Structure 1
Amino acid sequence: MNIVSILAQNALRHPDKPALVFEDRSYTYHEFNRMVNQLANGLISLGIKKGEKIALMMKNSDYFAISYYAVAKTGAVIVPMNFRLVAREANYILDQSDSVFVICDQEYEKMIHDASRTIPAVRQVITVETAENKGSLSLQDVLSKNSAEPAVEINNTDDLHILYTSGTTGNPKGAVFDHQRVLNVTVGCIGLLGYNTRERFIHVAPLFHAAQLVICMTSSFLLGGFNVIHKEFNPEAMLRDIEKYKITSLFAIPTMFKFLIEFPGGEKYDVSSIQRFLYGAAPMSREMVNQTMKFFNSNNFYSLCGLTEGGPSGIYLSPEDHKEKVGASGKDGLLFTEAKLVTPEGQETEPNVVGEFVLKGDTVMKEYYKKPQETAATLRDGWLYTGDLGYRDKDGYIYIVDRIKDMIITGGENVYSVEVENVLGTHPKIADVAVIGSPDEQWGEIVTAVIASKPNETIELDELEAFCRQHLSGYKIPRKVVFVEALPRNTSGKLMKYKLRESVKK
């Protein structure tokens, strides 16, 4: 059993059941699986071999979902790419992943050609729309008349996809997952979150991101659920389709929830069909969680705290736990996953002692693709060392406080940037904030706040210091403040602090 064999079974069990809607196109399970097979057979006729790599440079669409499953059915390995990459960055991933084909939206065709010009391994570029560059093919031209299941044996030990990390600290690394690992995460999410065959998902976060791809999309198609796909995030369009299609499950990153609850007139939409709200990929403050629960008039919220290398998998905070522990990252590991906090020597920490967050289980990546040293440094004694720091309270709930590389040491004291960010994030004039360490001759580092103010708001430094003194110890209060129009975030909503450190030094 794997995600492609179950898709074929679902097409036979309920061929007329609605599977997917994207803009003005819709598919039943029979229609979706038929087109998947046509593309898979077309790719095979172009010479794609089992185990070769095919990159996807696409925004969310029906064609992303079709391409993902088609590549999987050929036995090739999917390399979903961030569609916001520039040619240099795309060149790195295409080369590092050994991709031989690229399926892309037309708007990225020229960039992909430029990026792959120096990569002999790339044999074919396929565009979703009409191909404009010499040597490219359109997806419609690749579709085979043969809609039968491809004659390729898929084993659960075969690699399924390589998910490149967000790259918040430099070049991204490709986390490799086989079919079994992806199935484990999918089944684990179904069991833990209570998904069922009548589930109705809306996919707005990028599908190249592990959370939306595995926790939501592959879980939905495994169950025979219904999928509404949006190309981009638009609060009004999202609220409208939640009401129109009676969406039952919603995953969003914190910044998306923020835009949804602040959208003028958002309260007029009927969102009562949603049975579970999932948030993750970036920290979400206690205040923001409470505001979001109030807006949606629901307490059925799940915090999912994990990482790409975990599958994604990690820890979770259940709706019941939100009553007393809102703001915590989670407690128990997701199904098939263990979690703990350890000292630098690998010993489990005592309550309220900060340690590194580590994971173990059948959901964790096999390796970083072609990076044995990085793999050995991250996977040790069966545990995935995440680089996140956290502590466990007396009740066993884990609070992630920082990345190891983001911890600030000022005058010999450890300052965890997330704690300071959570405090500053409650200031009524602050729209977004990041806290980093700046070099200082006297203190080694000083706490530095990079702030994006709300429109038409001005924040005085003495006002900010007085606010911080109500909530923070003196050594944690920012000694340097930089005001910017917007903070650099990647498509997962994660702060790219290395860019802030570079800009603050200038």
Structure 2
Amino acid sequence: MTDHGLPTDGAEVMSDIFEAYANWSPDASAVTASSAYGGRRTLTYGELDKLTTQTAASFLRFGIKPGERIAFMTSNNAGIEGVLSYLGAHKAGAVALPINGRLTPTEVLPLARYAEISALVVEAAYLEHARAVRDGLENPPLIFVAGAPPEHNMIDFIELQKIDLDVAAASLPRVVPGDMADWLFTSGTTAAPKCVMLTHQNCVAAAHILARFAGTRHDDVLLTPFPFFTSSGVHTSLLTACTAGAHYVISTNVQAEPLMREIERERATIVGAVPSIYGYMASATPNDPIDLTSVRLAFHGGASVSPHQIATYQKLFPRAEIMNVFGQTESGNPGVTLPGKYALAKAGSIGKQGMPGVRIRVVDETGLDVKPPGIGELLLQSAATMVGYYRNEEETSAALRDGWLYTGDLVKIDEDGFLFVHDRKKDIIIRGGLNVASIEIENALSLHPAIREAAVVGKPHPDLGEDLVAFVVLEGADEPAIDEIREFCRPLIADYKIPRDIRFIDELPRNPTGKILKRDLRSDI
């Protein structure tokens, strides 16, 4: 139990957070988002509590059992249905499992099979994905469709609200802190992403930590364009806001001027985005002035930033603290922050200490602490850290050791103790805030009949932080067109994983044991 003087201090499971404000401030705005059925809606805390209770009870009525997985694929265009699915799963004692809406149907099917989902919620845009799951699994899940006529063996999402509220409340099971709450897939170094498991205890701890790092108040309006199906959506956005009884606005805008207009219209006080989004806003030239002085905190993460970039952010939000944040899905999202007072002097740093409730260490290969200046692996420890990866004891044992989460990120400590991401032990590229496992792209490229093997690395990008470069060794003398290779990959991997920069090479550099030397490839870029 946490004592911050908030109504949520006694929260033990996820539903406690939202029920606390349903009792404390039932008429306060909780979530504003688009609906798959059209238009924008604002739900108060009282309305959110009632609708998630009905959703949970209906999941149970349709046969979902506590502990089973309820997956949802909803973009921010169906933010209302995404929130109801996420929180409704928790109240039902089920596990909420968001799935990246930018994945192809080919990529989604093995995830659904691996997690053994019992239900899938989709909006109209993802009907093709739903069909792939329905037709590709021996025991297909229940499929709920929002905003489109349901097809064969599918159910209209509206049916989840057609239950008497009193009956619904009486049917909910008892949920305890050790029960599973969230499973989230994260890109790993294997072809199939790893599935992070978080209990209610983990998620409630994450909620308190995230609300404290932002200093969220009940009168705040937190607006982000983070996709709700990511951990940045369900944790860093929803929980950061609602743990303090604030108002969470799920933006559908990624274009600069519409997003700026929305921030102005909503009088947002906290804004979160990846650096590329801030860069687009900072360089926008709207015809009419836009007032962004309501923003008191603008946080970013996912890519290193320069002093020049920070200066443009400060000009964009003249009254805001500009804060860099670093976390992982495995950590429940809490991690390290660089306060705004260091934003210019230590631009590019992720900070020197953890968020409130997060301990950090930097260790060398022998596990000994690294003294500044030096380079080592960043370790995190908090009550929000995952319990492990689903059905993957080997990766769990590698990541969780002696009570610490080994992040796989190498950081450099400067003479003042500030941390800068130096490299990744994991073969992950962060493109525009999205994690991309290079092996997924390499596997897709290698399926092309003209390609013998491929290696993918990241390169610096002024807007995205990193972009992809694919080095390709051909099978024969015929050189396929770059556009043809990219089109070949399109049905196999998500659009943001398809490299724009594809380079042909005679052979890949290797060490004596045959391992590809990606550092050599990066040095050639």
Is TM (by shorter chain) over 0.5? yes
Output the CA distance in 2 between the equivalents of 1:337 and 1:205: 23
CA-CA distance at 1:83 after TM superposition = 0.5
Q: In structure 2, what is the equivalent of residue 476 of structure 1? A: none
Residue 65 of structure 1: aligned partner:
83
For residues 135 and 431 of structure 1, the distance between their equivalents in structure 2, rounded to whole angstroms, comes to 40
Q: Which residue of 2 aligns with 1:190?
A: 211
Matching residue's letter, 2:158: Q
Give the Å deviation of 1:364.
1.2
Partner of 2:193: 172
User: Any conservation in 1 of the 2:299–2:322 contact (CA below 8 Å)?
Assistant: yes
Q: CA separation of 1:304/1:432 partners in 2, compared to 1, >3 Å: closer, same or farther?
A: closer
Alpha-carbon displacement from aligned partner over 1:213-254 (angstroms, at most 9, x marks no partner)? 212202322222112222352322221121111101111011
Instruction: Check whether the contact 2:470–2:499 (CA below 8 A) recurs between aligned residues.
Output: no
Deviation at 1:277, TM superposition (A): 0.8
Kindly tell me: are residues 299 and 242 of structure 1, through their superposed partners in 2, closer, same or farther at Cα, counting changes over 3 Å? closer
Equivalent positions of 1:95-494 (< 5 A) are 95-148=113-166, 149=169, 150-167=171-188, 170-265=191-286, 268-298=289-319, 300-405=321-426, 421=460, 425=462, 434=467
User: Does residue 76 of the first structure (1) align with residue 99 of the second (2)?
Assistant: no
Q: What's the CA shift for 1:34?
A: 1.5
- Give the partner amino acid of 1:48: I
Asked if 1:26 corresponds to 2:37, the answer is no
Runs of 4+ in 1 over 6 A off after TM superposition: 435-440
The answer for the alignment partner of 2:435 in structure 1 is none
How many angstroms apart in 2 are the aligned matches of 1:339 and 1:307? 13
2 CA distance for matches of 1:431 and 1:136? 38
Q: Secondary structure at the match of 1:268?
A: coil
Amino acid at match of 1:172: P
Which residue is 1:52 aligned to?
68
Identity of aligned residues (%): 24
In 1, Cα distance between the equivalents of 2:503 and 2:65? 45
What SS is found at the alignment partner of 1:328?
A: coil
- AA matched with 1:100: S
CA distance in 1, matches of 2:225, 2:356: 25
1:196 to 1:209, Cα distance in 2 relative to 1, 3 A:
same
Amino acid of the structure 2 residue aligned with 1:14: S
Q: Is the 8 A contact 2:469 2:499 kept in 1?
A: no
- Equivalent-residue separation in structure 1 for 2:329 and 2:401 (angstroms): 17
CA separation of 1:169 and 1:305: change in aligned 2, threshold 3 A: farther
Supply the distance in 2 between the matched residues of 1:131 and 1:503 (Cα, whole angstroms): 45
CA distance in 1, matches of 2:410, 2:502: 23
Change in Cα spacing, 1:505 to 1:170, as seen in structure 2 (3 Å) is farther
| Matched-pair contact (CA < 8 Å) for 2:468–2:499 | no
The 10-residue stretch of structure 1 (79-88 or 149-158) with the greater mean CA deviation from structure 2:
149-158
Report deviation, 1:262: 1.8
**1:266, CA displacement in angstroms?**
7.7
Shift of 1:363: 1.7
Q: CA RMSD in A?
A: 2.9
**One-letter amino acid of the counterpart of residue 108, structure 1:** Y
Question: For the Cα contact (< 8 Å) 1:282–1:492, is it kept in 2?
Answer: no
CA gap of 1:406–1:122, structure 2 versus 1, over 3 A, is closer
Within 2, Cα distance between the matches of 1:229 and 1:266? 25
Q: State the secondary structure of the residue aligned to 2:136.
A: coil
Structure 2 CA distance for partners of 1:66 and 1:503, relative to 1, 3 Å = farther
Q: Which residue of 1 aligns with 2:7?
A: none
Paired residues for 1:2-17 under 5 Å: 2-17=13-28
| Closer, same or farther: CA 164–433 of 1 in aligned 2, 3 Å | closer
**Distance (whole Å) between structure 1 residues aligned to residue 92 and residue 320 of structure 2:** 42
Cα shift at 1:431: 8.5
Please, which moves more after superposition, 80-89 or 219-228?
Answer: 219-228
8 Å Cα contact 1:214-1:312 kept in structure 2:
yes
Shift in alpha-carbon separation, 1:437–1:18, aligned structure 2, 3 A: closer
| TM-score of the pair, normalised by structure 2 | 0.77
Query: Are the structure 2 counterparts of residues 400 and 169 from structure 1 closer, same or farther at C-alpha, using a change threshold of 3 Å?
Result: farther
Q: How many residues align?
A: 440
CA distance in 2, matches of 1:331, 1:170: 34
State the shift of 1:504 in Å.
Answer: 5.1
Which of 71, 78, 90 in structure 1 is aligned with 2:108? 90
Q: 1:393 Cα deviation (Å)?
A: 1.3
Q: Is the 8 A contact 1:80 1:163 kept in 2?
A: yes
TM-score (norm 1): 0.80
Q: Which string of whole-angstrom CA distances, capped at 9 and with x for unpartnered residues, describes residues 326-362 of structure 1?
A: 2212110122222122111111112122211221221
Task: Give, in angstroms, the shift of residue 10 of structure 1.
Answer: 1.4
Instruction: Check the 8 A contact 2:336/2:354 in 1, yes or no.
Output: yes
For 1:253 and 1:167, how far apart are their aligned partners in 2? 21
Distance 1:330 1:215 in 2: 18
Q: CA deviation at 1:406?
A: 5.8
- Assess if the C-alpha contact under 8 Å between 1:166 and 1:492 holds in 2: no
Contact 1:280 1:305 in 2 (8 A): yes
Instruction: Provide closer, same or farther for how the CA distance between residues 249 and 120 of structure 1 changes in structure 2, counting only shifts above 3 A.
Output: same
Amino acid at match of 1:173: K
Give 1:413's aligned residue.
none
Alpha-carbon distance change, 265 to 399 in structure 1, aligned in 2, over 3 angstroms: same
Contact 1:176/1:369 (CA < 8 Å) preserved in 2?
A: yes
> CA 1:373–1:405 in 2, change beyond 3 Å: closer, same or farther?
closer
Contact 1:281 1:307 in 2 (8 A): no
Q: Judging changes above 3 Å, is the alpha-carbon distance between structure 1 residues 217 and 163 closer, same or farther for their aligned structure 2 residues?
A: same
The Cα shift of 1:323 comes to 4.7
Distance 2:505 2:150 in 1: 43
8 Å CA contact 1:260, 1:266 repeated in 2: no
Distance in 1 (CA, whole Å) between partners of 2:468 and 2:256 is 28
Which ranges of structure 1 fall in alignment gaps of 5 or more residues?
A: 408-416, 441-483
* Counterpart residue type for residue 352 of structure 2: K
Change (3 A) 1:504 1:387: farther
Distance 2:270 2:93 in 1: 30
